[in-house]
Amino acid sequence: MKFQSTRNASPNLGFRDAFASGLAPDGGLYLPESLPCMPDTLLNGDTSSYASLAFEFLRHFDTDHSPEELKALIDRSYEGTFDDPATAPLKKLADNLFVLELFHGPTLAFKDFGLQLVGNLFEDQIQRSGQSINVLGATSGDTGSAAIHGLADKKGVNVFILYPKGRISPLQERQMTCTEADNIFPIPIEGSFDDAQLIVKELFGDLEFKAQVGLSAINSINLARVLAQSIYYFHAWAQLPQSARANDPTFVVPTGNFGNILAGWLAGKMGLPAQHFSIATNRNDILYKLFTTGRYQVGEVHSSLAPSMDIQVASNFERFLFYQLNGDGKQVAELMQNIKQGADLQIPDFDCDSFAATHSSDQEITALIRQVYEKYDYIVDPHTACAFKDLDPSRTNIVLSTAHPAKFPDTIEQAIAVHPTHPALEKLKSRTPVCYEKPAQAKAIREFILANQA
């Protein structure tokens, strides 16, 4: 299988090369040249474990590794790293309402599904090339800690994650600073998340530096992350009772960068019988507006109780746009350029029939946490809470739960007067945090990486 850029102006690459390059040279994102149709065995629960399902799926895309190598990579990613035997268990709340729990990985958020695999793919790349790499990223919370846990203690890679000092939750900070791994460098900066992102952009733009230290990114546009996320939609289907399958199932997905829901929609194009998806956003309702009106209008980012969805430009939307525009890479490039410059634009012939969308204010998030708790005796985190808004009772709803509630204890406590905990988070409280405070200047970060590179 080869992978093509959404902008059609770069050579097509095999899996390993597309994975390693992240962004295509023409600025586009990689997608499979064609989408294979998955066999029924993936839908019927015939595969014995999550890892074997993942192998049956990924072997269609990664034809660079031998099947044995790929299987070993996948086993390392999903065997013994998640704390539930089903890896992504489907819990029934009512006859027409299910929750797919995606928070059983090391950082208790769904990003572990992508980043556990990415960590092992990086390790494989380093062993193969003999060249060490340095991963640089900026985080406002979950991505950074999932990346860190995917790469902690791996040989030949050091990880530098910038975050705005004092502006991420204390537990999220502990997840990054208490790993006890010497290849991890969490860097709180004196500035905002945007400042952190600008520094990362500037350093990636410094091509000499980039080559000198083998700088790599670990962000939500990574091809392997998107593919890894399609797998659990099949896994959800395999666990869904027959009676619920017949009732027009909808996957309801708390959405920020559009990576998670895109993976589901792609699964739908590869044989997953569910064809309906619902986008749940917080007060940053740009995707809600887009999918209800076809209009992309970039505004300001507002902070909310569901911080991992506080975005304005949904980076993975470009992949969806590519299919919307029937693979016209030139038009994709033009529209994305306009979106990045903050234009207010109408997407031509925008067909969003497969999608519904909702948005929830902070007040509604708190109320939804309370309602779900009272009605089903089940605690949802603030991101997952958004997915419970305006559910259509006439069909089967499968809510993707993207984080464990114990990651957001204050919001939960405010809503229902219960303080959720998790042993993995309690354990962190006895460890000493290690981090490297820096000013919000690219120069300071460049020097720090040079002095501490792998």
Ligand X SMILES: *Cc1c(COP(=O)(O)O)cnc(C)c1O
Least separation in angstroms between residue 399's CB and ligand X is 12
Short-list 210, 163, 237, 35, CA closest to 435: 163
Distance in angstroms (rounded) separating the CA atoms of residues 414 and 196:
30
Sorted by sequence, the CB contacts under 8 Å of residue 266 that are 6+ apart come out as 35, 226, 230
Distance in angstroms (rounded) separating the CA atoms of residues 30 and 41:
27
Catalytic site residue from 71, 92, 111, 427: 111
Between 258 and 265, whose beta carbon lies closer to ligand X?
258
Short-list 320, 256, 252, CA closest to 284: 256
- Strand 13-14 and strand 2-5: the pairing is antiparallel
Task: Specify whether the CB–CB gap between 74 and 58 falls below 8 A.
Answer: yes
Between 199 and 399, whose beta carbon lies closer to ligand X?
399
Q: Is 111 a catalytic residue?
A: yes
CB atoms within 10 A of CB 383: 32
Distance in angstroms (rounded) separating the CA atoms of residues 162 and 190:
10
The footprint of ligand X (CB under 6 A) covers 109, 111, 142, 220, 254-260, 308-309, 383, 402-403
* CA-based torsion, 90, 252, 140, 185: positive or negative: positive
Between 134 and 402, whose beta carbon lies closer to ligand X?
402
Task: Specify whether the CB–CB gap between 398 and 250 falls below 8 A.
Answer: yes
Least separation in angstroms between residue 39's CB and ligand X is 27
Distance in angstroms (rounded) separating the CA atoms of residues 211 and 413:
47
Q: Which residues pair with residue 5 across a beta bridge? A: 30
Between 31 and 309, whose beta carbon lies closer to ligand X?
309
CB atoms within 10 A of CB 450: 12
* Collapsed DSSP state (helix, strand, coil) of residue 279: strand
Least separation in angstroms between residue 48's CB and ligand X is 28
Between 63 and 361, whose beta carbon lies closer to ligand X?
361
Least separation in angstroms between residue 258's CB and ligand X is 5
What is the H or E stretch that residue 427 is in?
Answer: helix 423-428
Between 290 and 454, whose beta carbon lies closer to ligand X?
290
Q: Which residues pair with residue 359 across a beta bridge? A: 281
Least separation in angstroms between residue 186's CB and ligand X is 17
Cα 98–chain centre separation? 21
Least separation in angstroms between residue 102's CB and ligand X is 9
Distance from the first to the final alpha carbon of the chain: 32
Least separation in angstroms between residue 112's CB and ligand X is 10
DSSP 47: S
Two structure tokens written together for 295: 């209009």
Between 125 and 139, whose beta carbon lies closer to ligand X?
139
**Active centre residues (catalytic):** 111
